[in-house]
Structure 1
């Protein structure tokens, strides 16, 4: 999600579009430095999302191995999301003082070290605690990586470089689920976690070897008071607060569906093997297409029109998963994924346009709400499934979409009132 430069008084988080005097030093299209930067941050994005969602696909296996309910097992996903959400603002701010590369390196290797320990845990408390710490470690990557790109890459090459980084996120999110699930189906959940840890270690090493030395970074002070003023100002902004809420609500649906779906597919009436159930995460690639099309939808229908379409598409997809039919469930999952990514892209882009100052802080607040939604959806959705089955999980997700439609409708009414007030004033 793009963000632009904050004023000097609130320069506590990395921003994405900087007016640098060193523009001639930035990597241009076709240069070796640009290729190395793109590959390095692709690896970093891949490692981040390999690790963040490493336990999601193997939750049924994990539940069986540690004798957990779906709700208890879901905390291994939720804890990482909570850790990232709580730490993304303060840890990203540290990159202003200590440097982008240093923070990214420390983050990815700390997360990998924790990943290498996870297969040896034997209790939910230890596993959940380590996953929470892993989320905190990973918080140093998302905003910092985008800031590094903006500082070190020439504007003419920034869009494709950012696109490749986001592609690494998307592919990592999918492949982490696939890798852990398939390996767990054959060798157990510990082997699944070990496979993800090794893959992430290789990605982290590739990142560190490839990342070029920063040439445009200038360290600055971290000002907690300025950060607090900027953050609270964004929270008090009605439009921004609605956008944060929409990010949370859309991610609540995504977290609930993708956390619980594995339990449903390995149980009756589907009774799919663990490895085959994990392959369902290939549908995640639908998000790549939906993300690319979201700008067109927004241009044609407007922001609120696109959000209505996104929430409606997601809701229809949820309803299609209610019957015990694998083809309908797959179609429903495609619609849920497309609707989620459309809503997420539209809302996140609107945050960058709405925040006239402190855009990096606004982006970080959106990410915090987004990952809290993932934690909320995964935990509540799994508890609902344990209590009353898949239909209860769908009801939780539909409730989130009803709230999202309500937030969007409130925005439509507020905009209409504002237009009438402006017309009256001009008349």
Structure 2
């Protein structure tokens, strides 16, 4: 079987599927960010403590991604991504019914674990199935789905919280994500170039840590760590400032500050094409 080429029907299906998958993952991951003031108010906790509803998920996601990528070497790219999307969507709906902050954190940790399947595997899938000269654009489109998911999840949750409450907001995001999971499952082509490995823990661990022997990759990992740390911290706490005087913004307007993500949506595709 040949590689998938740009301009073909299969290429479009791959990009739509991964766009839907990226939307699912990052809408769920970041959907609670504009809700932190409401979560803090309901459970009578400080801004720092309420932010655990987001940081606990990202920490669990970061650790689980290291494992999910290795598991996909054994069980296949599409199965791992599909299970990840459906599990995280169902957990998102269940999270909406959390009666206590401790249960909310537990659900969010489980979400972080289940969310890891797509971001850990999607790039590997594209690298194996897309022809090299079309790979940059395909990766850029996938990342644009991530950014739209992150933006859409925040805006939707902000609007719904204003009209209902944060419980309804998370439930709706979960249902939208479930639809996105179905789209992903139905239209993503099966891997044709994937070669499974036997389940050998030693080899899986070796393939995981061999990346840390390359200095260039270590610099990239550290840069990503610093940039994402600053990015997440800023958006975690800015909502607490914007809902009180002198701004006194509604949850809807606080959610719309994430519309700046549109810049990343277009630039990621553009940079992919340039690369």
Q: TM-score, normalised by structure 1?
A: 0.60
Equivalence for 1:97:
74
Equivalence for 2:227:
250
Change (3 A) 1:233 1:104: closer
Is 1:190–2:167 an aligned residue pair? yes
| Contact preservation (8 Å) 2:68, 2:121 | no
Distance 2:175 2:11 in 1: 27
Q: Choose from 26, 30, 33 the match for 1:49.
A: 26
Structure 1 residues 121-154: Cα deviation after superposition (integer angstroms, max 9, x where no partner): 1111111111111111111111311111222222
Counterparts of 1:225-240 in structure 2, within 5 Å, are 225-229=202-206, 231-232=208-209, 234-235=211-212, 239-240=216-217
How much does 1:269 deviate? 1.7
Change (3 A) 1:262 1:165: same
Equivalence for 2:182:
205
Distance 2:103 2:237 in 1: 22
Question: Segments of 4+ in structure 1 off by > 3 A?
Answer: 226-243, 286-295
How much does 1:27 deviate? 2.1
Q: Which runs of 5+ in 2 are unaligned?
A: none
RMSD of Structure 2 on Structure 1 (CA): 2.2
Change (3 A) 1:162 1:245: closer
Q: Secondary structure at the match of 1:272?
A: coil
Is 1:134–2:111 an aligned residue pair? yes
Structure whose alpha-carbon radius of gyration is higher:
1
Equivalence for 1:217:
194
Equivalence for 1:241:
218
How many residues end up aligned between the 2 structures?
274
Equivalence for 1:267:
244
Equivalence for 1:332:
none
How much does 1:30 deviate? 2.6
Distance 1:163 1:201 in 2: 24
| Contact preservation (8 Å) 1:185, 1:275 | yes
Distance 1:213 1:52 in 2: 26
Structure 1 residues 344-376: Cα deviation after superposition (integer angstroms, max 9, x where no partner): xxxxx9xxxxxxxxxxxxxxxxxxxxxxxxxxx
How much does 1:99 deviate? 0.8
How much does 1:180 deviate? 0.6
Distance 1:29 1:232 in 2: 33
Structure 1 residues 36-74: Cα deviation after superposition (integer angstroms, max 9, x where no partner): 111111100110101111110111112222222111211
Q: Which has the higher contact order (CA 8 A, sep 6+)?
A: 2
Is 1:286–2:263 an aligned residue pair? yes
Q: Secondary structure at the match of 1:28?
A: coil
Distance 2:130 2:202 in 1: 31
How much does 1:291 deviate? 5.1
Equivalence for 1:146:
123
